Amino acid sequence: MAESIIRIENLHKSFQGQPVLNGVNLSVPAGGITVVIGLSGGGKSVLLKHIIGLLQPDSGEIYIAGQALSGLAAAARHALRRKCSYMFQGMALFDSLTVFDNVALPLREKTRLAKAAIAERVMEKIERLELGQIAGKYPSQISGGMQKRVALARALITEPEIVLFDEPTTGLDPLRKTAVLNLITQSKNQFGFTAILVSHDIPRVFGVATRVAMLSDGRIVFEGSPEEARQANTPALKEFLLAGPGEPSGGQRGAAPLETPPGD
- Helical ranges in the chain per DSSP H: 44-52, 74-81, 99-110, 115-128, 144-156, 174-191, 226-231, 235-242
Of the candidates 164, 228, 192, 189, the one whose C-alpha atom is nearest the C-alpha of residue 28 is 164
Q: Alpha-carbon torsion 79, 85, 91, 96, what sign?
A: positive
Contact by Cβ (8 Å): 253, 41: yes
Q: What distance in Å separates the CA atoms of residue 125 and residue 103, rounded to the nearest whole number?
A: 9
pLDDT at 92 over 50: yes
pLDDT at 152 over 50: yes
Contact by Cβ (8 Å): 194, 187: no
State the burial class of residue 96 (Cβ atoms within 10 Å of its Cβ: 0-12, 13-18, 19+): exposed
pLDDT tens figures, 30-39 = 999 999 999 8
Contact by Cβ (8 Å): 9, 3: no
Least confident of 3-7, 56-60, 85-89: 85-89
**Averaged pLDDT, 100-113:** 93
Of the candidates 42, 40, 33, 45, the one whose C-alpha atom is nearest the C-alpha of residue 5 is 33
Task: Output the CA–CA distances (angstroms, integers) from residue 217 to 31, 36, 137, 233, in the order listed.
Answer: 28, 14, 43, 17
Q: What distance in Å separates the CA atoms of residue 221 and residue 144, rounded to the nearest whole number?
A: 34
Least confident of 177-186, 216-225, 245-254: 245-254
- Which domains occur in the chain, in start order? 4-83+162-259 (3.40.50.300), 92-159 (no CATH)
Per-residue confidence band for 245, with pLDDT thresholds at 50, 70 and 90: low
Average pLDDT taken over every residue of the chain? 87
Contact by Cβ (8 Å): 42, 19: no
The model's pTM is 0.83
Question: How many residues are there in the chain?
Answer: 264
At a CB cut-off of 8 Å and minimum separation 6, what does 76 contact? Answer: none
Q: Which amino acid is at 242?
A: L
Percent of the chain exceeding pLDDT 90 equals 56
Q: What distance in Å separates the CA atoms of residue 264 and residue 261, rounded to the nearest whole number?
A: 9
Q: What is the DSSP letter of 179?
A: H
Q: What distance in Å separates the CA atoms of residue 132 and residue 146, rounded to the nearest whole number?
A: 11
Q: What is the DSSP letter of 2?
A: P
Of the candidates 137, 130, 172, 175, the one whose C-alpha atom is nearest the C-alpha of residue 152 is 130
